[in-house]
Every structure is written in structure tokens, then in C-alpha cells.
Chain A
Amino acid sequence: MGEREDVVIELKNVSYKYPATDFYALKDVSLTVRRGEVLLITGPTGAGKTTLCYVLNGLVPHFFGGVFEGEARVLGYDIRETPVGFLSTKVGLVFSDPLSQLVSATVEDEVAFGLENLGLPEEEIMKRVKEVLEYVELYKLKDRPPYTLSGGEQQAVALASVLAMDPEVYVLDEPTSNLDPIGTMRVLDLLKKLAREKRKTIIIVEHKLEEMAEIADRMIVMNEGKIIAEGTPREILTHRAEHLHELGLEAAHIPLLVQRLMKERLIDNVGEIPLTLNEGVRFFDQILSSNTLSLTSGNGGSIESKKQGIGEPIIRVENLVHVYPGGTMALKGVSMEVYRGDFLAIIGQNGSGKTTLVKHFNGLLKPTEGKVTVFGMDVEKTPTSELVKRVGYIFQDPDRQLFTRSVKDELIFGPKNIGLPKDEIEERIERVAKKLRIDHLLDRQPYSLGKGEKQRVAIASILVMDPEVIVLDEPTTGQDPRNRREIMDTMKALHEEGKTIVFITHDMNLVAEYANRCIVMSDGRILLQGSPKEVFREVETLETTRLKPPTITSLFLELSKRYPIKDTILTLEEAVRLFRRVGG
């Protein structure tokens, strides 16, 4: 095969502006992708990643309209002259929000849908559907409506429905955002196999750079509509780790640590920068085993800064069982406490009962069996309108609660419902709006705001009610790493002011950095409970529920088998400090 035929995607100086906007979402993007290549695209929110995906199957410009400049060819077809309906038989697109792309009544119908559109004979369709569903381990769910599945399962269905169509090019927009670490690896392995064995071309937008590094041949970094870096993942993740970090991206931990240590001259410049966990272990093994550096000396003082259970219990859950009307037993006897001043993380697989548990804290759900007391009030006997004054619950998707004409009205809603006087409401709005940096948006229409801004308005609308406990149900899903951190930093500030925070998350790094306590749930029960350090040490138990500690923690746990590192390292800062003490 000649060089030319091998080119699958060719963009030349593509710029694109959505209708009714005054800025270019893509600016002068040029890109060539060859058959069988796995290309990783990353960048902060608003970088143009999703828009680029839409170009590849022609949704941009055919579906959206707007101004398209430059030239884009996919498999030789000029996308401007090719209908999306045709291009989509060659290019399979998986969207980032799994449910938004599921249109059928059952999982089986969903996977068959594209094949029916292709007009394939029935037997062929049934055969492929079965194969693909077995492959993604969803065959047993084939008769279920997709919306009743967990986020992770929905994502698997979305992927399966594209896999079944067997396209030449796969374009996947954050295909693992709802998956646990082990589920993520499974999907990435599958994609790698498609590229290696079937010579499919794969383009993935992802924030999980560390995991992607092992499967991508090449990566591009986008920012504000432009491609700002291009190279192999190893080049970019090792040599530009700091740069990625500054962009607000989740840079791979190990190269970031090594770069920091070199910058502070705590270790010498030692050639190849390690990327993966195994490389990291080998790298530090070499450094630590050489005589120049020893960790034994500096391990005197504990750097455990986050104390456990600060105050008295304010929420008490005793033998809680919850059965949903359909008969699903979501909680099977849970006992736990939330203490005043807690910064509590609740983690666990999809469907492990995390959300069901926290919905009892403000009375959205009532116990089927067992007892929940909140500030001494029995949840079963206390009206929800009383409980919500003490426990604020922040939902994942701001679109599901904003409804007024202005941000200010949105903030008035809650306090007015609990009957606060007008001047008090005004005063609170001013204070909260400033804290969340939305004071300049008070007259804007909530729906017209950006994603991050909407999320901040939704959070503010709870904070103005001044609850003592704040519950966040995966507030960071669908946000880029920078937004995630901003939300969590706000929570940290509130925590320092004396609020108690409970958050549900899939992001182990957030647990490591912010929580003082952590509860791991599995199958309706509590599996582990303790400080993040204690919890992340239980590597094997975590694995049973498909979780794993942050890479930096794994690295030092591994090294501690050979070197006297007593402390469990959770964050980059802690790791640098460890060396600083030693190196000094």
C-alpha cells in the first residue's frame, strides 16, 4: 500500500464557527491520520476537541450549520460534499454523554439499530448483535431499556452499538468518563486490539492521559481551538508534564514528579524520564539504591495533616436497608456516621449504593428498614423541607434544576422557600456570588451560561440556604480537570469555614487530595472505611470492587516494600516533600 492510500483523515487549515457565536471553535487545524493509527486528543474545556470529532463524521458543518473554512477529507471523501448519513457508515462516533446517544427501547434494539439502518439481512444482524454484546459482557442485559442501566453500562452499550457497525474509523469522545479504572483499561485494550489486528483508525478524546499513554501512537494537545502540541504520548507526557499541568490537565503523575524533583534539584537530571508505574518503580529504585540518597533519615515527623473525625456525629445511619419500588435492594444494611467537620468521600462502583445512601441525608429517600438521624431528627418523621435547611444536596447536572430568568432569581428560590427575610436573602446572595465568582453573572439567563458557570450557579443556589452539611453527588462528572479542581477548592474553602462536606466521586485523585475520610461501598454495603491513607493501602480489597489507588500512591506503596517509607503518599506535594526532607 502506498503512502497516499494510507492516509485516512486529512484536515488542511480547518477553521469553524458555530452559528450565532462570535468566535472560532476551531482555528486553522491541520491534521493527518493514517490507517491503523491510535490518536489521542486532549485539552481543557472549550479547546475544540468535540467540535473536531463532529468534523470527522460531517455533523460539522452539515448538522450544526455555521461557518466552515479549509479542507477536510475522510477516507478520501470531502466532508462538505458528503452527507452525514453516508459518512456515518464509515466513521463511527461515540458521544461523551452515553444516554444522549441511546435511542432504542432495549439494549438489543440499540445495538441492532445501526445495522438495521445499513439494511443488513436479519440473520447477519442477530449474529453481530450477539457477538458484540457478549464481547462487552452485556448479553445478559439485552432486554433492559438502556436508561435503566448504570452510567458505565450505558457507555458500554454506546460503544457496542458503534462496534457492531464495524466502521473504518472510530471517533470516541471521552468514552470512559463513566467507567471505573479497570473498566477503562478494558475499553482501551479493546480499541488497541481493533487498531493492531483489524487496522482500524482510532481517534480518542480523553482526559485520562496516564492510561492512554500505553495505547496511543500519537497525541495532540488542543487549547482554544488550536493544536498546540503534537507528538508521541511519551514525548509529551514526559517532557511537557508541567505544561499540561498548567493547562489544567491531569498530567501523568510519575513524569510530573520527576520533573518537579529535577527542577528543585532534589535529583539529578538522569536521562530518560519514566512514564508508567513500572518504569517509575525502576527509576526510583535506582536512585534510592545509589548512595547519594537515602530515605531512612527523614521519616521522623508524620506529615499526616488531615485528621480523622473532627467533631461529634451529626448524621447517624443505623442498619439502613433501602429497597426501590421495583424491588431492587440498593442498600443491604449500612451503618455509618458523618462527623461535624468531616470531608468525607464516598467511592465505589456504579450501582454500589452511594447515591441511594446520601439521598437519605436530606430525606429524598426514606429508609425501608433501619434508621437515619440528621442533627437528631429522625429522617422518617421529619419533613424534607426541614432537613434541606441543614443538609444541602448538590446534583450532578445543573440543567436539571436551573429554571428562572436570571441567575439572581435562581439564587433567591431556595432561601425564599424556607422563608428567609428579604434583606437577609440579598446579603447572602451577595456573599455567595462573590465566593463562587458569579457576581458578574447575576442578571444573565442561567441557560445561556457555560458549563462550568452553570455548575457554579447550581452550587451557589444551595449555599445561599446556608446548610451545615453539603452533599455533592459526582459534581465533577463531565467537567475537565481544571473545573473539577475549582469545584473541589470551593468545597475546601467551605470546609475550612466549618462546613461538613460529603462527596461522591469516581476520581481517586480527588479523594487523595481533599478527603479526610473515605468510605468504599460495594454491592449495597460498606467495604472499607478510614482515612484515604488507610483505605488506599488496602490495594487487594480495593481491587475486588475494581478500584485502585492513585498512581503516585501505588508507586510509593511499591517502593515501600524495599525502602523504609512509612507514610502512605497521596499527592505529588507529599512526594516532593518526602524528597525535600531527605535531600536537604
Chain B
Amino acid sequence: MGYEYFPGNSLLHRLDPRTKFLIFLMIVVLTVSIADPVGIFALLVLTAILYRVAGIPGRKLRNMIVSLLPVFALFIFLNWFIVPPKGAHLLFTLFGLPITIETTMVGVTGGLRFLLFICVARLLTMTTSIAELLVALVKLKVPKEVATSLGIGFSSVAILIDKINTVREAQISRAAKVDVKNPFKKLFALIPIIVPAIYLTILRGMDVAKALESRAFTYNPAGRTMRKHIKLKTIDYAFLTVWLIFTVVVAFLRFKYGWFDYMFTIGRFL
């Protein structure tokens, strides 16, 4: 999916993009600090509530999570082999490899972290228009022409996805089997889609370059106007303060007292 903005006027939409960006960073810190899957799940629930606050239909979040479930399963599965077996709570054995609750929890945590990152990042982009994001970048000292180019890139992704969709339809019309299950066959099956996609991307690059030149983008890049203005408001400070305290407390508990490790909650029931 490309950059998907969901227009609205919710609390989250009204927050300064910088605030949202910082909160996003804090959530990253939080998820890295917390290893307890129940804790991360709680953050995920909190994120779901924020989706509700932003007025984004529940099915969008649901579809997103459902499409990520295979990756989630992969996290658990791979961790059985990667994490050295530890702990005493044996679940079952797989080809002679002991699978314990502990190793499983490592995988569950990894998978949940991944889900959380994606959901939070999407929430950020869904409540922040590209224009706002660019202004935030400029305020954070990114050069104007770089920020603008980034915005053009985001917009082009959506156009390319649209074009690639027609590529797919055109190949299906030539009886191409694009929906094969076998991952190796799938790779070959996708060549008829990938090749035109690359070609179209190069063409798009040329087109955009021509269009930019023709609309005076190179006229005086440093002096260009950034139309949108952003300002930190009381609500931004309030949000930032609450999140900051929360993050610090969690991090403190984690590193000082060793709370929120993989077995923090589950362990109590064993």
C-alpha cells in the first residue's frame, strides 16, 4: 500500500505532526523496553483505541492485522529454531527439538512488536497528510527540496500501485497464473508483473523530472514557500508530557527492577 491519508478532524488529526512523530518514537522505545507479550498486547489495544479516536473504520485495522497474521505465525515458528531452548515448561517436541513456553513467548513478543510497529506507523500516516509531514520535516531541519522530493515519492507510490494493478489485470487476461501458492513458482509467476512495473517506475521517474522542471521546481528551491504552518499547542504539550512520563516509568521498571520480561505475566500462572 502507498501513503494512505484518512482525512478527518479528530484529536489525532489536530496534533502537530512533530508531536505524533515523537510519540511514535516513544512507542518504539516502549516496545523495545517491554518484552512481556501481555504488555505489548496492551499497547496494541491502546493503539486500537487511538484508531477509534481518529475515526478510522475498524475494518481497516482489522484487515491490516489479518494480512499480517502469517508474518506473526512466522515469528513464532522461526523463534523455535533460533532461540536456544530455555526454561522448564515444555510444550511439545518438534523433530526432537524441545519447544518450551519460554521460547514460544519470545516469538510471540517478536510478532506482536512487529504488528504494533506497523499499526502505529500506519496510524501516523493515516492522520497526517503528506503536506503536514513535509512541513514537520522542514522544521526538523530537512532541506526543503529533499522534503518536497520525499512527498513526490510518496504520491508516486500510489500512482505506481494503481498502474501495477492494471499490469496484473493485463497479464491475467493473458491467462497468467499469478495466484500460485508455491513460493518458488510464485517468484517466476510474478516476473510478468515485476518487469513492466520496473519499466513503469523508470518512466514515472523521467516524467516527474520533466514535470518538476516545467513547473519551476528548480527556479529557487531554497526560497520556495511551504504553505502549511504548524504550531505546537497546549494539547501537544499535554500529550507529549503524559507519554514521556509513561515511557520513563516503564523503562525505569524494566531496567531497574527487571519487570516486563518475556515471562513477566505468563510466569505468574505457571
Whether, in the assembled complex, B243 has its beta carbon less than 8 Å from a beta carbon of chain A, the answer is no
The chain A residue with its CB closest to the CB of B156 is A103
Q: Give the distance in Å from the alpha carbon of A388 to the alpha carbon of B226 in the complex.
A: 50
Whether, in the assembled complex, B3 has its beta carbon less than 8 Å from a beta carbon of chain A, the answer is yes
Whether, in the assembled complex, A80 has its beta carbon less than 8 Å from a beta carbon of chain B, the answer is no
Task: Tell which of A92, A384, A388, A401 touches B167, judged by Cβ atoms closer than 8 Å.
Answer: A401
B200 proximity list for chain A (CB < 8 A): 399-400
The chain A residue with its CB closest to the CB of B174 is A414
Question: Do the beta carbons of B219 and A106 come within 8 Å of each other?
Answer: no
B170 proximity list for chain A (CB < 8 A): 393, 395, 400-401
Question: Do the beta carbons of B216 and A165 come within 8 Å of each other?
Answer: yes
With contacts A126-B227, A385-B175, A462-B174 known, is A88 near B196, CB below 8 A? Answer: no
Question: Do the beta carbons of B225 and A88 come within 8 Å of each other?
Answer: no
Segment 335-370 of A: residues with Cβ below 8 Å from B: 359, 362, 364
With contacts A85-B218, A403-B191 known, is A364 near B173, CB below 8 A? Answer: yes
The chain A residue with its CB closest to the CB of B191 is A403
Whether, in the assembled complex, B86 has its beta carbon less than 8 Å from a beta carbon of chain A, the answer is no
Question: Do the beta carbons of B213 and A393 come within 8 Å of each other?
Answer: no
Q: Give the distance in Å from the alpha carbon of A162 to the alpha carbon of B216 in the complex.
A: 11
Question: Do the beta carbons of B175 and A63 come within 8 Å of each other?
Answer: no
Whether, in the assembled complex, B166 has its beta carbon less than 8 Å from a beta carbon of chain A, the answer is yes
The chain A residue with its CB closest to the CB of B221 is A117
Whether, in the assembled complex, B65 has its beta carbon less than 8 Å from a beta carbon of chain A, the answer is no
Q: Give the distance in Å from the alpha carbon of A418 to the alpha carbon of B172 in the complex.
A: 11
With contacts A59-B210, A147-B159, A465-B175 known, is A403 near B196, CB below 8 A? Answer: yes
Whether, in the assembled complex, A118 has its beta carbon less than 8 Å from a beta carbon of chain B, the answer is yes
Question: Do the beta carbons of B151 and A88 come within 8 Å of each other?
Answer: no
* A571 to B: closest C-beta gap in Å: 32
A63 proximity list for chain B (CB < 8 A): 209-210, 213
Segment 508-554 of A: residues with Cβ below 8 Å from B: none
Q: Give the distance in Å from the alpha carbon of A431 to the alpha carbon of B154 in the complex.
A: 45
- The number of inter-chain residue pairs (CB within 8 angstroms) is 178
B172 proximity list for chain A (CB < 8 A): 364, 384, 388
Tally of chain A residues near chain B (CB < 8 A):
68
Question: Do the beta carbons of A99 and B175 come within 8 Å of each other?
Answer: no
B154 proximity list for chain A (CB < 8 A): 105
Q: Give the distance in Å from the alpha carbon of A571 to the alpha carbon of B192 in the complex.
A: 42
Q: Give the distance in Å from the alpha carbon of A56 to the alpha carbon of B163 in the complex.
A: 30
With contacts A104-B152, A399-B200, A447-B199 known, is A147 near B176, CB below 8 A? Answer: no
**How extensive is the interface on chain B, given as a class?**
35 or more
Question: Do the beta carbons of B220 and A119 come within 8 Å of each other?
Answer: yes
Question: Do the beta carbons of A461 and B174 come within 8 Å of each other?
Answer: yes
A161 proximity list for chain B (CB < 8 A): 215
Question: Do the beta carbons of A362 and B215 come within 8 Å of each other?
Answer: no
Q: Main secondary structure on chain B at its contact with chain A?
A: helix
A99 proximity list for chain B (CB < 8 A): 159
Q: Give the distance in Å from the alpha carbon of A397 to the alpha carbon of B203 in the complex.
A: 13
Segment 377-423 of A: residues with Cβ below 8 Å from B: 384-385, 388-389, 392-393, 395, 397, 399-404, 413-414, 417-418
Interface centre among A103, A113, A116, A122 (most CB of B within 10 A): A103
Question: Do the beta carbons of A118 and B174 come within 8 Å of each other?
Answer: no
Task: Tell which of A97, A118, A359, A413 touches B176, judged by Cβ atoms closer than 8 Å.
Answer: A413
The chain B residue with its CB closest to the CB of A461 is B174
Question: Do the beta carbons of B129 and A393 come within 8 Å of each other?
Answer: no
A121 proximity list for chain B (CB < 8 A): 225
Whether, in the assembled complex, B204 has its beta carbon less than 8 Å from a beta carbon of chain A, the answer is yes
Task: Tell which of B5, B211, B224, B229 touches A95, judged by Cβ atoms closer than 8 Å.
Answer: B211
Q: Give the distance in Å from the alpha carbon of A404 to the alpha carbon of B196 in the complex.
A: 9
Whether, in the assembled complex, B217 has its beta carbon less than 8 Å from a beta carbon of chain A, the answer is yes
Question: Do the beta carbons of B227 and A116 come within 8 Å of each other?
Answer: yes
Interface residues of A (CB under 8 A from B): 57, 59, 62-63, 83-86, 88-89, 92-93, 95, 97, 99-106, 109, 112-122, 125-126, 143, 145-147, 161-162, 165, 359, 362, 364, 384-385, 388-389, 392-393, 395, 397, 399-404, 413-414, 417-418, 447, 461-462, 465
Can you name 28 A-B pairs with beta carbons within 8 Å? A85-B216, A85-B219, A89-B216, A89-B219, A93-B214, A100-B210, A102-B211, A103-B155, A103-B208, A103-B211, A104-B130, A109-B227, A114-B216, A117-B220, A118-B225, A119-B220, A125-B227, A364-B169, A364-B172, A388-B175, A393-B173, A400-B163, A400-B167, A402-B196, A403-B193, A404-B195, A414-B174, A418-B175
List 7 additional A-B contacts (Cβ < 8 Å) besides A100-B211, A114-B216, A364-B172: A105-B154, A119-B220, A143-B7, A385-B177, A393-B169, A397-B166, A414-B175
